[in-house]
Every structure is written in C-alpha cells, then in structure tokens.
Structure 1
Amino acid sequence: MSAANIQPHQEKTPAGDQPEGGATLAEIARAAGVSAPTVSKVLNGRADVAPATRTRVEELLLQHGYRRKRGASQQPRLIDLVFHELESAWAMEVIRGVENVARQDGLSLVLSESAGRLTPGQTWVDGVLARRPVGVILVLSDLTAAQRAQLTSRDIPFVVVDPAGDPGDDVPSVGTTNWQGGLAATRHLIELGHRRIGVIGGPSGMMCSRARIDGYRAALETAGLPVDPRLVREGDFHHEAGYTAGLDLLRLPDPPTAVFTGNDLQALGVFEAAREKGLRIPDDLSVVGFDDLPVSRWVGPPLTTVRQPLTEMAETAARLVIDLGRGRRPATTRVDLATRLVVRSSTAPPRG
C-alpha cells in the first residue's frame, strides 16, 4: 500500500473539487473545522468520515451553494438507473431503452432497487457520490431535498421517469399521457355498451395512478354515467392486487361487466379472478390494461390495453441526462409522450 493511502494527511485535493461558484473547498473546510481532504472525501462519498463530520460538511456545502467544477475529475462512463422495484417486464422495457442510448455513447449502466420505497436510502446516495456517474435516472421514484442538494453540489444531474409525485419545475422528468390513457380505455368500454365499469388503480400516492383514475372518471362523467365508488379499487400494480380486487368486484350483488386496470399485471390478475368465478373473457367480462407489455399479446385472450411507450420514455430520459451531464440545458423540463389504445380480444359488448 502506498504512503498516500496509509497517511491521510498526505492526500491531495483533486483538481475537480474546485467549485464553479460560491465558496471554495478550502473555505468549506475552514468553516467545518476539518481539512480540505476530509471535505473531498465527503464530496466523493467516501465511507471513512465520521457521521457528525459528514453531516456538518454537507450542511455547509448546501448553505454556501458549493458546486463541483464540471468534468475536471469526473469520469462520465456510467449512468445510475434506480427503480423502486425490479420485478417485472415493465422494468425490463425501461432498462432496454436506457441501454439503447447508453451503448451509443459508450456508457454502462448501474442498476439499483430501493426495495419498494419511493425514495432511495442514503446508502444508495453514498454509492452514487463515490461512482460519480454522468447522471442518474430515477424510475417511479423521487429524491429528498437533501439528496437533490447532494447530487447538485457534485454536479451529478438527475432525471425522473414517470415521477411518483410532482417533481417540481426544476427537476427534469419524462412521463406519459396517463389521464388521456385512462380516458381512452374507459371510453372504449362505454362505446361497446358497458355501463357498470370497475376500475383497479395503482397506489394512490403515485401521480400516474391518480391520473389514470381521473381519466376513467372523466370518461364516465362525459358520457353522463355515474361514478359508482363501489366499483373503484386501489391496487399496487402487482398480479395479486388485480386478483384480489377483481374477486372483490365480481362478488358484488351487481358486479361490473367490464374492468379497467391501472396496469397489465393487474389485468392478468383479473383474468385469474374471472376464471375462478367461472366467467369467460370477453363474453362475460371485458378487461382493459395499461402498459402494453410484450406478454399482453400472448395471454388468452390477447389483452386490450393502453400502450405506454416505455422504451421511448427511457430513451428520452437517457438522452436528457447525458445532455445535462455535458452542460446542455433542456428546452423544457417536462416531457410527456403519447399513449395509445391497443384493441385486442379481451373486450366486447356486454351480454344482452
């Protein structure tokens, strides 16, 4: 091991830790009562800094608006891609889109999962600071104000795909026309002649889920149909939620003749609930999903669904974060790509 590695006081401050503006690294160090190499360790996500010292330095970096000088020591060879869950074909479509763009720029991906949490933990942030990627893409996730400040001070841009909440005007994001998709799905069922239409949304805390439910309500209200709260269920975007909520709807004294689900996985859960109740799709029950995952074409019967351009959304986010990493500011911070209804064999006019 070299002397520099075993004697921290010999460690040199990287050239890339000079700021673009605000306080210098040395001024931050003096204010915190520590050495400049210690501040550099905090900037680089090093673990060998006492928690109290790290917190004090982070607060001063935020207070003084420290911004690392772009590109001097950064090695932009990676894109960090973080999901709240990595369990389905939905995630694979997003990974494929980011990889398509990253490959063209000679970048590699680092995949992370926040174990179902919509905000990744501090361990993940520390890893990002240590890797110093060209940028971060968060899928159905968000960052705390403190985490945003940490990435900003290191000049690591981030983009949110299908944000769980309102990311704010200052955070670049890529989404889809969820409200329009919910409207189109429900309107399709109304035009087929359905009047009792159930809906199984996703988590109410997710903006995309609320928008799809709002589109469902708007279609009913525009058609002069009542929104029956007994036909509205909240799911979690998994098969099991579609199955459980589907059974619940089909056990009603006056069950729906059609169900719109917030995603394809829940639609497949409704398929199983209908089978268990001895119902045939679409003869006895019409079902519409949302996403248009590859499996939707191969289930029996093939699923009518709203196509969400997942791969294109991911490609757009990747191009955006790469541009930000190169210092190019986007013309707009919010991009919404269009959804499209794909009619297959799981929908038909109701009996009678």
Structure 2
Amino acid sequence: MAITIKDVAKAAQVAPSTVSRVAADHPSISYETKKRVRKIMEEMGYHPNVNARSLANQSTQAIGIVMKSSADKALQNPFFPEVLRGISSVAHEQDYSLYVSTGETEAEVYESVQRMVFGKRVDGLILLYSQIDDRVTKFLLEQDFCFVLVGKPYEHADRITHVDNDNFTASYDITWELIHKGHEHIAFIGGDSNLVVTLNRLRGYEEALAKAGLPIRDDYHIHAELLKSGGREAVHQLFQLDEPPSGLVIADDLMSIGVITMLEEKGIKVPEDVSIVSFNNLYMSEISRPPLTTVDIQIYELGYQAAKCLIDKVNNKQEPSKRVIVPYEVVHRQSSRERRKPLHL
C-alpha cells in the first residue's frame, strides 16, 4: 500500500498540513522541522503528489527555458549545456521541472512562448538571449508574465530582471591584451549583430582601439553564427584583405576553434602569425592547440542566478526587478603573443 501524507504526519507527530508545507518548502516551517520531516519522508519512501500540489497552489512547478535558435544548433555550443546545468541545479533544489523551448525561426520561438504562457504550462520563463526589438520580451511585459533574461535588456532594463556580465568592460580588457602586445591591426568576430551581447562586446573592442588611437575599420568587423563553421567563414573574409589582421577578438570559444582550424589550413600559425583572444572559457579552451586566452564569464553561475531570480519572482509577485552582474576573469593562455613581424600571405 502506498504511503500517504497522513502516515508521514503520524510518524513525525505533526499535522498533515505541516507535511504538505514541508514538501512545498514553505517559509513558515522551521529548518529543524523540515529536516526531521524530510528524513521521515525519505525513510518511509513517501513522494509528494506534485500535480495535486500544483493544482492547489495554481502552480505548474515548471520553468520554461527559451533559446533563440533550434536545439540542434544551440546545443552544439557548450555554453548552453553549461548554463542549463546552472539552472537545473536550482530547479532541482526547489523541486521545479524544466521545459525547454526552441525554434528554427523567430516566429516559431514566439509561438512556442505564447503556447507556454496561454496554456499555463510554466510558472515563469528564462530567456537565454537578449536582442534588439524582441517580440518575445515585449509580449511577456504586456502579459505581465514572470521572466528573467540572461543578458542585458535592449530596453526597459528597469522593468526586467536580468543576469549578465559587464560585457563592455570585458571586451575592452581582452582587446587591450592584444594592444598591449603591440598589435595594431585587430579584427572583431562576433555573433548575430541583433544580439545585445554582441553589440556590447563590439563597443568594448572599439573603445579599446579608440583609447589606443588605432583605426576602427568596418572590414575588420565580422558577424557569424557562434559555431565552428562561423569561425571558418570569418577567416575566409578577413584573410583575403590586402591588410589582414594580426590579432583577433572572437566572441565565443567555439568560433575560435573554427578560426584556428581554418588558419592552419591556410598555413597561418597561432600565435606566431596571428594572436587570438576569446570569450566564455568553455571546456575546450584549455585543451585546444594552442590553449585559448579567454574571458571566463562563469556560465554556470549565470544559469544559477537566473533560476534563483525567477523562482524568487514566482514566489513573490511583488519582488522588484533586479540586475545581477556576474564577475568575469581574463584567463591567460598561449593563443596570443607579442607582435613581431608583419603577416605576408
């Protein structure tokens, strides 16, 4: 016979309502009582009925996660599994399930979000992107639906809880790494130009060049998918120029791997001929050849903080909007060096 809430209450010598509140992690129950009742629940093999509890609380106990691109493309980049790991850690602690939404087009992503909101499938959403004039963000604001952005909002930053790095300063710092090493011809390889993170990193790169009195060249700005293929395409464009760059600021480590591979095919060595600095400090950054100098943006922490903020908002509708800035660190490795000679192709 299945163990019931009354069985647990009897064994713990508390009321059934107390057991229910412990299962829901209600703040009115002391830590000591929660610990004692949970131990008995575990010993007796009791599992709360999440569906019943959700109906009673008018809660789905689910978080929706929205990615801008299809799962096939997004999950090729280790950024997404790592940020999902951070989100999952909090969700598991708070007994929330995850509902991941993707789409091949922006219209598909928008329709998927509408289904989640109008179908009451989730209590709140985490958007793993921030872009210019985003329909999804505007829709969620109009619906007054709980959501959190991983990234800086393009507008209405005071109304939107968001978790981000200081991407402008991080990009300034990593670009200055190359300038300090004597590089004067430095290109920027970024992702989608509609993404706010790309714009902030581009601004930081340009500010560093301006500070050093170096020219800002439009032909040194390349935007491609944050994948290895995007990095390969960027090399084709940059190294056909009459004056190719000696340094590259690349917005993602996975793109950097594609760049290094393509440069090798062209007989161009990193860092002897071209120095590379990058972003994200993905697991392959340290084992690439050469290991990448990169900005560690603490991807896991971005996901963890986003989930924590969202659940706080779900539990308290009056929770004010927050801006959480996760610190970054420049990790120095062997993909950049002092400029010694011009590159002749």
Is 1:84 paired with 2:65? Answer: no
Deviation at 1:163, TM superposition (A): 4.7
Residue 281 to residue 89, structure 1, CA distance change in 2 (3 Å): same
Task: Tell me the equivalent position of 2:219.
Answer: 230
- Partners of 1:284 and 1:126 in 2: how far apart? 51
| 1:135 alignment partner AA | G
Task: Tell me the equivalent position of 1:209.
Answer: 198
Residue 265 to residue 166, structure 1, CA distance change in 2 (3 Å): farther
Worse-superposed segment, 228-237 or 279-288: 228-237
Task: Tell me the equivalent position of 1:29.
Answer: none
Tell me which of 319, 327, 332 is aligned to 1:343: 332
Contact 2:67 2:127 in 1 (8 A): yes
TM-score by length of 2: 0.75
Deviation at 1:320, TM superposition (A): 0.6
Cα deviation code 1:42-75 (max 9, x no counterpart) = xxxxxxxxxxxxxxxxxxxxxxxxxxxx996412
Task: Tell me the equivalent position of 2:276.
Answer: 287
Task: Tell me the equivalent position of 1:145.
Answer: 138
Tell me which of 150, 164, 172 is aligned to 1:161: 150
- Partners of 1:310 and 1:98 in 2: how far apart? 10
Residue 309 to residue 118, structure 1, CA distance change in 2 (3 Å): farther
Task: Tell me the equivalent position of 2:24.
Answer: none
Contact 2:125 2:146 in 1 (8 A): yes
Contact 2:253 2:285 in 1 (8 A): yes
Residue 222 to residue 112, structure 1, CA distance change in 2 (3 Å): same
Task: Tell me the equivalent position of 1:190.
Answer: 179
- Partners of 1:224 and 1:295 in 2: how far apart? 34
Task: Tell me the equivalent position of 1:75.
Answer: 59
Cα deviation code 1:75-123 (max 9, x no counterpart) = 2421111111332211101100000111111111111113252882224
Residue 119 to residue 304, structure 1, CA distance change in 2 (3 Å): farther
- Partners of 1:175 and 1:190 in 2: how far apart? 26
Task: Tell me the equivalent position of 1:22.
Answer: none
Residue 337 to residue 144, structure 1, CA distance change in 2 (3 Å): closer
Deviation at 1:264, TM superposition (A): 1.2
- Partners of 2:228 and 2:323 in 1: how far apart? 30
| 2:81 alignment partner AA | M
Deviation at 1:290, TM superposition (A): 0.9
- Partners of 2:247 and 2:101 in 1: how far apart? 37
**Structure 1 residue matching 2:187: 3-state secondary structure:** strand
1:1-352 alignment runs, 5 A limit: 73-85=57-69, 86-87=74-75, 88-117=77-106, 120-141=109-130, 142=134, 143-150=136-143, 152=144, 156-163=145-152, 165-327=154-316, 329-330=318-319, 332-352=321-341
Worse-superposed segment, 99-108 or 113-122: 113-122
Cα deviation code 1:185-215 (max 9, x no counterpart) = 1100111111111111222111110110111
**Structure 2 residue matching 1:120: 3-state secondary structure:** helix
Deviation at 1:168, TM superposition (A): 3.6
Contact 2:170 2:204 in 1 (8 A): yes
| RMSD of Structure 2 on Structure 1 (CA) | 2.2
**Structure 1 residue matching 2:210: 3-state secondary structure:** helix
Deviation at 1:235, TM superposition (A): 2.0
Contact 1:118 1:140 in 2 (8 A): no
Residue 116 to residue 185, structure 1, CA distance change in 2 (3 Å): farther
Residue 340 to residue 267, structure 1, CA distance change in 2 (3 Å): same
The runs of at least 4 consecutive aligned structure 1 residues that moved more than 6 Å come to none
Task: Tell me the equivalent position of 1:9.
Answer: none
Contact 1:164 1:206 in 2 (8 A): no
Residue 339 to residue 304, structure 1, CA distance change in 2 (3 Å): same
Residue 347 to residue 329, structure 1, CA distance change in 2 (3 Å): farther
- Partners of 1:204 and 1:118 in 2: how far apart? 18
- Partners of 2:220 and 2:116 in 1: how far apart? 45
How many residues were matched structurally?
279
For structure 2, which runs of at least 5 residues remain unmatched after alignment? 1-53
